[in-house]
Structure 1
Amino acid sequence: MNPLFAVILGLVQGVSEWLPVSSKTQVLFASSFLFSLPLAVAYAFGLFM
């Protein structure tokens, strides 16, 4: 995993912890749309983080 990729996903998760939405879902969407990952890989990152 690229360190920049990890920092961006960590920021997305940190910000979305304060919102009344699932932070795992936000990580899933961010990794899928921003980094063009396949949905299965993005889902695995969302569960891991």
Structure 2
Amino acid sequence: MRTHLDDPLVVWGWSPGFGRAPVPVPREQFLAAWETWARAGAPCPSDG
């Protein structure tokens, strides 16, 4: 289910190279949060 998170283009976000800011959340923290969200049924906030 999370195969796309290991795609090189996605992983690149944490090491984008000179002059570019990486994703501001450590990758392991992001993956843990994603797993929690997915286990909860991938809920989406309501519009109001």
TM range (shorter): 0.3 to 0.5
TM-score, length of structure 2 as denominator length: 0.35
Q: Decide which structure has greater helix share.
A: 1
> Which is higher, the Rg of structure 1 or of structure 2?
2
TM-score between the two structures when normalised by the length of structure 1: 0.35
Asked which structure has the greater RCO (Cα within 8 Å, sep 6+), the reply is 1
